[in-house]
Amino acid sequence: MKTFEELGVSPEILKAIEEMGYENPMPVQEEVIPYLLGEGNDVVALAQTGTGKTAAFGLPIIQGINISNRVPQALILCPTRELCLQIAGDLNDYSKYVVGLKILPVYGGSSIESQIRSLKNGVHIIVATPGRLLDLMERKTVKLATVCNVIMDEADEMLNMGFTDSINAILAEVPKDRNTLLFSATMSPEITRISKKYLNNAKEITIGTKNEGTKNVKHIYYMVQAKDKYLALKRIADYYPQIYGIVFCRTRKETQEIADKLIQDGYNADSLHGELSQQQRDAVMQKFRVRHIQLLIATDVAARGLDVDDLTHVINYGLPDDTESYTHRSGRTGRAGKTGTSISIINLREKGKMRDIERSIGKKFIVGEMPTGKQICEKQLIKVIDDIEKVKVNEEEIADFMPDIYRKLEWLEKEDIIKRMVSLEFNRFLEYYRDAEDIEAPTDSRGERSLKGRSEGRENTARRAEPGFTRMFINAGKADNFYANQLIELINKSMNRRVQIGKIDLLKSFSFFEIEEAQAQSVMSALNSESLNGRKISVEIAGEETHRGTERRGSGSSPRKYTDRSSSPAPRRSREDRGYAASRGPKRRDEKPPYKSSESKSGEEGWARRKKK
């Protein structure tokens, strides 16, 4: 293995990277650096995120700058603000001892006036997102005629995000005799097209195999029923107490909902999606980087360009539509020679998609066995013991308090004290999982019940309320932007005492929820005097209907009971599914977890038919 010095890196840069802990070049650096320091030719480099790409192009670019001529000589284009700042920060670190070098990050969401002032003062290297750079070009405040090196980092991401036209406009202003370096994790048809258009006799450098996943990443999947995905996510998070990772969701709405549930259940989690302001994004990312957040729930678009080291896990809350997105997701862990794990929580419908990804990345997914409550408790107990072992004792600070503590605990034996300390942290998991039922995986083998088959070939019985609860109908649903948190707020607002809420089923134009029997009449009376968006709320007791469609009515003076017909039978209720108190404060981990939301098309249509009658 060669050293950076043998690759031709200058002494000033060597000194800086040695202080940063760089010892030997990574494969992409060993391939790219001497090539760029040589004649200077166009390059297409295929390498995963976290393989050392920034140093691979950054070190030779810095070394080739003419410091005495303060004009833009190198342009680095990247897809997101976060990556722009990351690259600029790394280049500043590499050039710590290169006196006079000016590097400017140019991105949206920051003051354009300050960027214009910096450009007027003169810069050598511009790191930019395409949108903001085009804005500056239109204002005639940046000139690219002196640029001799153009780097497109995460080019596949920029093209996926729709920056093709912007890149065309930018490169049209750069001299044709420039050197162009294109870095990408995957070799998509669009990358092939753009490399043919803008690069001349480009050298293709591939680290590993085209489009393959990172070698240090283990790929695991858990097959669950769609309704159990959130419960599976919680079990996985509990089974890995030291988890530090990203949970990828498909939509902004799903991202926010999953983050809200995790936070309510006491996890250190937060969301990152396109509806957040730049200030909110920065705050979330800062908390995540310093590990105040263990789980970041994000969309693919929001996480693009996200550069965070030491992620232990990437969790796919369902698979993405294309292999390239999966490659980018999984490539965020197992970086810089470390190992990582990519976990996918999928249902039977996604099995074919998983096989396509396996063929593309050249790796087989390992079947994961959903951890049991006992296994989770064992992991959490070991974590408690490890934390006690590693705690730092400040003898001087606690010395004055110890005599009183000794007197307070002198009646306890050593074994009793240890048991109590462990139980203080451990009891909440023991209580939570003691009666929790295991999550059953669906099967599609011949002769066995499939996910679809659960509702076929057997009677379509009515969904029944949990014992001790009454099922209620309310004339508001998702079409009214009415979700579980609004329902809870509505109950809190109308009731002056604590009310126990069970399962909540959100449908398109109406919903069902469960209330403890003793409070059903009071809640119904209170909510019927409320309104939502100017429309009067109507709440009634939902009846139960057999598969023959007969409607049961209450006797005596009870109000008419509305039928709640679902397309699938009532699922077995585990401890995780049970009701919880409607209260305004945040939930603790030792309290019962929140509702599960579901939508039944046939239930909604059945209700519509009965309303017409």
Q: For position 84, which CATH number holds?
A: 3.40.50.300
15 pLDDT band, cuts 50/70/90, is very high
Do residues 224 and 154 share a domain? no
Q: Give which of 334, 373, 217, 243 is closest to 297, Cα–Cα.
A: 243
Query: Rounded to whole angstroms, how far apart are CA atoms 357 and 322?
Result: 8
Q: Give which of 581, 541, 595 is closest to 563, Cα–Cα.
A: 541
Do residues 317 and 379 share a domain? no
Stretch among 127-131, 167-171, 601-605 having the lowest mean pLDDT? 601-605
Do residues 133 and 44 share a domain? yes
R_g of the chain computed on alpha carbons: 29
541 pLDDT band, cuts 50/70/90, is confident
pLDDT value of residue 480: 82
pLDDT value of residue 136: 93
Is the model's pLDDT at 162 over the cut of 80?
no
Residue 250 in domain: yes
Is the model's pLDDT at 601 over the cut of 50?
no
Is the model's pLDDT at 581 over the cut of 80?
no
Q: Which 3-state string (H, E, C) describes 445-478?
A: CCCCCCCHHHHCCCCCCCCCCCCCEEEEEECCCH
Residue 479 in domain: yes
562 pLDDT band, cuts 50/70/90, is very low
186 pLDDT band, cuts 50/70/90, is low
pLDDT value of residue 469: 84
229 pLDDT band, cuts 50/70/90, is very high
Do residues 192 and 266 share a domain? no
Which residues span the domain enclosing 185? 11-206
Q: Give which of 513, 506, 514 is closest to 600, Cα–Cα.
A: 506
| Sequence-ordered alpha helix ranges (H) in 64-99 | 81-94
Do residues 62 and 149 share a domain? yes
Mean pLDDT of all residues in the chain?
78
Do residues 325 and 224 share a domain? yes
Who contacts 159 (Cβ-Cβ below 8 Å, separation ≥6)?
A: 167, 188, 190, 191, 194
Residue 173 in domain: yes
Cβ atoms within 10 Å of 98's Cβ, excluding its own: 18
Mean pLDDT of 340-368: 89
Query: Rounded to whole angstroms, how far apart are CA atoms 3 and 6?
Result: 5
Do residues 571 and 542 share a domain? yes
Mean pLDDT of 431-439: 73
Residue finishing a domain among 346, 370, 394: 370
Q: What is the pTM of this model?
A: 0.53
Do residues 201 and 254 share a domain? no
pLDDT value of residue 560: 40
Is the model's pLDDT at 280 over the cut of 90?
no
Do residues 409 and 515 share a domain? no
Mean pLDDT of 438-458: 49
pLDDT value of residue 561: 40
Query: Rounded to whole angstroms, how far apart are CA atoms 150 and 588?
Result: 52
Residue 442 in domain: no
Stretch among 246-250, 280-284, 483-487, 560-564 having the lowest mean pLDDT? 560-564
pLDDT value of residue 1: 65
Do residues 60 and 106 share a domain? yes
Residue 486: CATH number of its domain: 3.30.70.330
Mean pLDDT of 228-238: 93
The one-character DSSP state at 24 is: S
25 pLDDT band, cuts 50/70/90, is confident
Is the model's pLDDT at 73 over the cut of 90?
yes
Residue 189 in domain: yes
Q: Where is mean pLDDT largest: 123-132, 269-278, 325-334, 551-560?
A: 123-132
Q: Are 251 and 299 in contact (CB under 8 A)?
A: yes
Residue 545 in domain: yes
Is the model's pLDDT at 481 over the cut of 90?
no
Residue 452 in domain: no
**How far is residue 332 from each of residues 120, 206, 307, 419, measured CA to CA in Å?**
37, 18, 8, 40
Residue finishing a domain among 370, 393, 416: 370
What is the number of structural domains in the chain? 4
| One-letter identity of residue 230 | Y
Q: Where is mean pLDDT largest: 179-188, 231-240, 279-288?
A: 231-240
At 166-176, the pLDDT tens digits run 888 998 899 88
Do residues 30 and 93 share a domain? yes
Residue finishing a domain among 206, 237, 268: 206
Do residues 386 and 365 share a domain? no
Mean pLDDT of 422-438: 73
Is the model's pLDDT at 245 over the cut of 90?
yes
Residue 313 in domain: yes
504 pLDDT band, cuts 50/70/90, is confident
Mean pLDDT of 23-38: 82
* Structure-model confidence comparison of residues 148 and 611, the more confident one: 148
